[in-house]
Structure 1
Amino acid sequence: MDASPARPTVTQLRLSAFKSHRRAAFPLAPLTLFAGASGSGKSSVLEVYEALARLGAGDELGDVFDDPAGCIPEQAGADAQGRRGFRIGCTVDGPAGPVELDLAVQAEPELRIVGERLTAGGKLLLSTALRDPARPTVQAAWHTAGNVPVTRAPLPDDRLGTALLPLRVAGRTEGQRQVLAAAEQVVVALRSVFACDPQPQRMRRPATVGEGRLRRGCDNLAEVLYRTQSECAIRHKQLVAAARAGCSGPVDAVQAEELLNGTVRAVLGRGDRSATPVGRLGEGELRYLALALVLLTGPGVLAVDPAGEVPPAMQSLTVLADGFDRSLDGRQTRELVALAAAICGQGHIRVVGTAAHNSSAREVAGATVVDLSA
């Protein structure tokens, strides 16, 4: 019986040589929080995940790494040609089984991908290598298993080769179909990411009504509430319950109200008392409310393009939340982690985040806490 998950899912991140990490491999559960002291490398894990996600979506290497020299492992020496770089990778589980993607990136003297390996079931499906430093390409070889066992062709050195395979592989032979299935599984999993970092000061302002998709900084929180309060009564009721658990004072409503200038603002209903504009809330309450909204919405509301290759019911979205407990007290952290565990348990959303303190998160069943200070 095949125990592989139906939804393409990143189940391990590898920071083989990246900043302070060497030979590090981190399994990912549905809800994984990386904890540890400042400088322990928590944010580096999320940085690698987001970088792989952007490369999987087709972004150029230079757009993904704006400070590549800063990604080079500490005290890493240069080779005879003065080259230094870093290595990252991941494992993606899904219908094609576990598929491993590993990248070697040259950061100096110029940024380029100098090696890429895509492996499944112990079989090397794609490999690339830099043959001529004067050319902006790498030599790629992918599994064919036809009359010609391996197909060779140049690929750009500033793009993820795995993401380009669906455009290069015909799928005529069994080997080609295996390559396509593995590549598409990796790309679908990597693209299904929403990186979130709520910015309380921006969230205090009224928002203009538009398409109603929540942005990374959650600064258009009021606009999204204006849309969602009428679209899904069940999820909105859950949001109200979450706000009641994490915000001070009585809360019986979370909604957006129209202002005279065509904008909307978010408010908390206080029963018989006057409603409180969220602009008056503290930073912890605002971050708590924004993260709860992220967990209780989904691809149709969050500013992320779902993968068209997979039916919506079979997709899994991963939320990346650096500073998951930032500005939150212990009670708010426990409530938010509990909400995340409940939502992640349903299978459609996964969370990978960082936490400065792990004691509150460890108290919640369903949360996996990785302490990098240990």
Structure 2
Amino acid sequence: MDQHAPFAPAHTPRPAVTELRLSAFRSHRGATFRLTPLTLFSGVSGAGKSSVLQAYEALAALAAGDALEDVFPDPAACVPEWAGADAEGRRGFRIGCTAEGPAGAVRLDLAVQAEPALRIVGERLTCGGQTLLTTALRDPERSSVQAAWLTAGSVPVTRAPLPDDRLGTSLLPLRVAGKTAGQQLVLAAAEQMVVALRSAFACDPQPRGMRRPVAAGDGRLRRGCDNLAEVLHRTRSECTRRHARLTAAARRGCAGEVAELAVEETADGLLRALLHRGEGRTATPVERLGEGELRYLGLALVLLTGPGVLAMDQAAEVPSAYQSMTVLADGFDRCLDPGQARELVALAVEMAARGHVRLVGAVSDASFARGVEGVTVVDLVP
């Protein structure tokens, strides 16, 4: 860590996104959502549950340095239907968030033009009521925005162009020297926001892919959990305590007796996951499990493992001990029976209480989670 790093003792709060703002995004208008360590968005189809998670994931990707066109491949779909074009035919959307941590509450607000050309037209980073960064589109003919960030030295602010297809906040550590108190505040706030957003893992287990044996690789679980067997092979040898905890979770969420989660190598060198049913009984390959059982196993594995076992792009410059992973799970209850859903929520509550895992999920029916201590249910109405 360099001399300007804001993260020091382990007792300081880990950066986390605690509020999401969809000022104008898809079906949402002027919406603000408070995010607790375990937040479930509930509602019927069309209520906007997936849009909330999509906005969060988009901000996370931008914080990781992804280009705007990669984050929003269909930007017109993000523009609310009620949003009309201005005199120049421009239409867009607005999203933002708040990340709390050692630097306090840091706000990021973003305005994106979707038509006629995709570009960031405005960005604002604030902390404690003080504006730390602003950007604005001055010349539509140029692929840049005019940025101004706090200096608080002999010159109050520093002005320079930034690309209009990247999040300016993520670029500040490369542009700000950190010599003045104002610059150090900018760096601390920007780093906190980037760390909070990048510590996200979007998970959507796909049973069809999970049924197939897989080749050995880097042992990092992918978004669709299709390499479940490979990751189980790793956790079984490297994380025996967590593997035992996962086996215990499987006993409560899979039909029949589960003595152990195991992995075997097939004749062609691939890895296949198995459920050992007990001494003298034939093991059950995971491809024979139901869709709910497979999704349950995938989600349980995500909640029980850390960033080192998940295919996610964390902020490498900050020690993992100072980061809190946020799992984004759209369709969290898809294919699950109420018992499986309750078990996963109980597991999520347990892991969130330890401070290392947060969960933002979308469910069609939150009855299994209502009244559970530690769970916040947000009901959305179309």
Aligned to 1:78: 85
Q: CA–CA distance in 1 between the matches of 2:320 and 2:26?
A: 36
Which residue of 2 is the match for residue 271 of structure 1? 278
User: In structure 1, what is the equivalent of residue 264 of structure 2?
Assistant: 257
1:350 aligned residue:
358
Alignment partner of 1:338 out of 336, 346, 349? 346
Call closer, same or farther: CA 1:72–1:5 in 2, change over 3 Å: farther
Name the residue aligned to 1:312. 320
TM-aligned CA deviation for residue 365 of structure 1: 2.2
User: Secondary structure of 2:369's partner?
Assistant: helix
Question: What is the Cα deviation at residue 237 of structure 1?
Answer: 1.0
How far apart are residue 312 of structure 1 and its match? 1.7
Report the TM-score when normalising by structure 1. Answer: 0.98
Indicate if the aligned counterparts of 1:129 and 1:138 stay in contact, CA closer than 8 A: yes
Cα shift readout 1:141-192 (whole Å, capped 9, x = no counterpart): 0000000001111100000000001000011111011001100110111111
How far apart are residue 364 of structure 1 and its match?
2.8
2:199 pairs with 1:195: no
Q: Which residue type is aligned with residue 205 of structure 1?
A: R
Structure 1, unaligned stretches of length 5 or more?
Answer: none
Is 1:177 aligned with 2:184? Answer: yes
Q: Which TM-score applies when normalising by structure 2?
A: 0.96
**Matched residue SS, 1:98:** strand
Residue identity in the other structure for 2:171: L
Secondary structure in 1 matching 2:138: coil
SS in 1 for 2:77: helix
Q: Percent identity?
A: 71
Question: How many pairs were matched up?
Answer: 371
> 1:342 aligns to what SS in structure 2?
helix
Contact in 1 for aligned 2:64/2:313 (Cα 8 Å)? no
CA distance in 1, matches of 2:79, 2:377: 26
* Greater shift in the superposed pair: 142-151 or 254-263: 254-263
Q: CA deviation at 1:363?
A: 4.5
**1:232 and 2:239 equivalent?**
yes
> Match of 1:218, as an amino acid?
C
Which residue in 2 is equivalent to 1:365?
A: 373
Is 1:286 the counterpart of 2:294? The answer is yes
Q: Distance in 2 between matches of 1:96 and 1:351?
A: 22
The one-letter code matched in structure 1 to 2:157 is: V
RMSD of the TM alignment (CA)?
Answer: 1.1
Q: Which residue of 2 aligns with 1:155?
A: 162
* 2:250 corresponds to: 243
Determine the structure 2 residue equivalent to 1:329.
337
Query: What's the CA shift for 1:5?
Result: 5.5
Partner Cα separation in structure 2 for residue 89 and residue 229 of structure 1: 40
Question: Which string of whole-angstrom CA distances, capped at 9 and with x for unpartnered residues, describes residues 327-371 of structure 1?
Answer: 001111101111111111110111111011110121432211111
After superposition, residues 39-118 of structure 1 pair within 5 angstroms as 39-118=46-125
Q: Distance in 2 between matches of 1:301 and 1:289?
A: 15
Q: Is the 8 A contact 1:5 1:93 kept in 2?
A: no
Q: Could you tell me whether the CA contact under 8 Å between 1:334 and 1:364 is conserved in 2?
A: no
CA contact (8 A) 2:329 2:359 kept: yes
**What's the offset of the Cα at 1:125?**
0.4
Q: Distance in 2 between matches of 1:312 and 1:199?
A: 28
Alpha-carbon offset, residue 139 of structure 1: 0.5
- Kept in 1: contact 2:210–2:227 (CA 8 A): yes
Q: Which residue of 1 aligns with 2:7?
A: none
Shift in CA distance, 253/363, structure 1 to aligned 2, threshold 3 Å: farther
Q: Counterpart of 2:237 in 1: which secondary structure?
A: helix
For structure 2, list consecutive stretches of 5 or more residues without a partner in the other structure. 1-10
The superposition leaves residues 84-138 of structure 1 with CA deviations (integer Å, 9 ceiling, x where unpaired) of 0000000000110000000000000010000000000000000000000000010
